[in-house]
Homo-oligomer: A and B are copies of this chain.
Amino acid sequence: MSDVKTIEIHENIFADNDMAAKMVREKLKNNNCYMVNFMSSPGSGKTTTLISLINKLKNNLNIYLMNVDIKTDCDASKIAKNTGINTLQINNGGLCHIDAEMTLNALKEVDLKDIDLLILENIGNLVCPAEFDTGANKNIMILSVPEGDDKPLKYPLMFSVCDLVLINKIDVLPFFDFDMDKAVKNIKNLNKNAKIIPISAKTGEGIDEVINWLNNCFKF
């Protein structure tokens, strides 16, 4: 039997972000606007899921999207092109997350008064974005089937801070060793209140259930 040694190395990277998050939430409340923060790994399907969701919601709601990206406007442009809604691209110059102060700065560019639902599409990253309250009313994260059912064990904070976990790419379940029961159990062990919805952004399966969840949360 081989040897597995474990050591701990720590570093403090946190700063107080609560005041800015409170200011974001007040600004949203004063404008009767709700904000959701979408987080996930790179390539888990945030943009495709958002296109599918927005196209089903846009006739009843005014929706605006802010996308955070290191350098490009690929996703904000793709969403604008495929849904017709207006979007804001936030390029953060290489940062791994967006915090509440950066969100407040971004909101200077957005006229909230006619917006019902503001969507923040965060940087693709399962670590850092979970550490920063953006001021959003709800956190939503996407775990995709190809990433594996063990990801909640390895990135526990992300799954702990989310109100809704979407398990995406269920159309490719037959081709991966992904145990849905194990994934759900791993998530529930961290966060028993999280709602979990399996979806396929590609085929549209599960998207109506996500819309019901949003409608129940925000009473649009």
Contacts and interface: CB of A to CB of B under 8 A. Distances in A.
B96 A128 contact: yes
A42 B154 contact: yes
Given A96-B96, A144-B146, A172-B146, A155 B70 contact: yes
A77 interface: yes
A72 B153 contact: yes
Contacts of A80: 2-4
A3 B76 CA distance: 10
Nearest to A84: B2
Contact of A9 (B73, B83, B93, B124): B93
Interface stretch (A21-29, A102-110, A112-120, A210-218): A102-110
Interface of A: 2-11, 13, 41-43, 69-77, 80-81, 83-96, 98, 102, 105-106, 109, 123-128, 131, 144, 146-148, 150-151, 153-157, 169, 172, 175-176
Nearest to A87: B4
B155 A169 contact: no
B70 A11 contact: no
A70 B125 CA distance: 14
Given A3-B80, A85-B2, A89-B7, A96 B125 contact: yes
A123 B70 CA distance: 19
B92 A6 contact: no
B89 A6 contact: yes
Contact of A156 (B8, B70, B90): B70
Given A2-B86, A94-B131, A124 B155 contact: yes
B154 A72 contact: yes
Contact of A125 (B93, B125, B156, B169): B125
